[in-house]
Amino acid sequence: MRILVVQESDWLEKGPHQSHHLMERLSKRGHEIRVIDYEILWRRHAKNGIISKRETFENVHKSIDDGRITVIRPAIVKLPILDYISLVLSHRKEIKRQIKEFRPDVILGFGILNASIGIDQAKKNDLPFVYYIIDELHRLLPQRILRYPAKLIEMRNMKQSRLVISINEGLRDYTIRMGAKPRNTLIIRAGIDFTKFNSAIDGTAVRDRYGVAKDDILLLFMGWLYEFSGLKEIVEQMIIDQERMKRIKLMVIGKGDLWTYLSSIKDKMGDRLILLDWQPYEHLPDLIASSDICILPSRKVSLMMNIVPIKMYEYMAMKKPVIATNLPGIRKEFGESNGVVYIEHPKETLEKALELNLKEEIEKEGKRAFEFVKGNDWDTMTSLFERTLMGVL
């Protein structure tokens, strides 16, 4: 198969996400993959010029060493609003070019604007278009004023796609509410690379490196540090109730809105807060292994209602219990007594961690977590995805 992927995120700097894992494994199986992406983080590189040039990156891989993807990045104007307008023009031109030169068998969309263009071009060229939903896309736009028109385009995409794939039950329900026909929807969940994420890894060396004692309770959070992530509330509680929480330490891995705040109080908290920038993917299993409990303590904001981050599966594969906010998507995916312990507010995270430790429930919940996800290996998920695309063809 020749698969053309269109997305409005940075394939090189973001992830690895579901898309990276699946596409790289398909390429290893002999399928040809080309990705048209968008430099969503262009503000970081604005000094390189207002207008970017078209770029091609060969043999790209982020999740497996022998996955090989060709990434094409069309030119854009690096100015607010004009970046979206230029995206529409340059991505339309690039999609037409790839249909002519690459001759894809199927177009796979992960975005909004270029997915809409992809759908139109697929129809003109009698190609199937498959929409893969891993987020409520319009809610990710930083400009609130653009979210409603983006929602309308996303709804059109749902209605006109040959097939709409979601990564969990909550998002499938969302796609149907957005206009996808139920018979045209399917769930393909996140997978796990058990050769990398497994409970046999010893995290002692990492704990020693950061001064975490054997009887300390190390909580781990990794990902984008959104303002609503709940980390600020947790850190504030650790400071206020320092005596009761003295055995709890927090490791935060990532970057984002709260980075400056967390950096500013790092000296006050000492080794109770371990703050790490983005880490290479191959280092993550060792870091997760060093923790006792992983956390997803988000506030209940609309963006998080139906999200099930792929990292949840990786935590659970390593027999780590997860303290998570009682969000509809998480609850629907993992249910009860499957290694996910629910809270209603970020402030409850620390008390719940102490409770699990006092009752010696950490190991029990970790085993339950593993039992729930042990069938979600990436080879199985990739085979399901491969058969699905072949079925569409």
Delineate the domains of the chain, giving CATH numbers in brackets: 2-191+378-392 (3.40.50.2000), 204-373 (3.40.50.2000)
- Give φ, ψ of 98 to 5 degrees: -70, -35
What pLDDT shows up at residue 47?
A: 60
pTM to 2 decimal places: 0.85
The answer to whether the CB of 99 falls within 8 A of the CB of 125 is yes
Rounded to an integer, what distance in angstroms lies between the CA atom of residue 133 and that of residue 7? 11
Rounded to an integer, what distance in angstroms lies between the CA atom of residue 20 and that of residue 16? 5
Look up tokens 């959070």; give the residue: 221
Rounded to an integer, what distance in angstroms lies between the CA atom of residue 362 and that of residue 130? 41
Rounded to an integer, what distance in angstroms lies between the CA atom of residue 90 and that of residue 247? 54
Going residue by residue through the chain, which has 393 residues, state the pLDDT in tens, using 9 for 90 and above.
999 999 999 999 888 889 999 999 999 999 999 999 999 888 876 566 788 899 999 999 988 888 889 999 999 999 988 999 999 999 999 999 999 999 999 999 999 999 999 999 999 999 999 999 988 889 888 888 989 999 999 999 999 999 999 999 989 999 999 999 999 999 999 899 999 999 999 999 999 999 999 999 999 999 999 999 999 999 999 999 888 899 999 999 999 999 999 999 998 899 999 999 999 889 999 999 999 999 999 999 988 988 888 899 999 999 999 999 999 999 999 999 999 999 999 999 999 999 999 888 999 999 999 999 999 999 999 999 999 999 999
275, exposed or middle or buried, with CB in 10 Å at 0-12, 13-18, 19+?
middle
What pLDDT shows up at residue 46?
A: 57
375, amino acid identity: G
Q: How far is CA 208 from CA 204, 211, 212, 214, in A?
A: 6, 5, 6, 9
Look up tokens 């690895």; give the residue: 16
The answer to whether the CB of 368 falls within 8 A of the CB of 138 is no
What pLDDT shows up at residue 44?
A: 73
- Three-state DSSP at 250 gives strand
Q: What is the pLDDT of residues 307-329, one digit of tens each?
A: 888 899 999 999 999 999 999 99
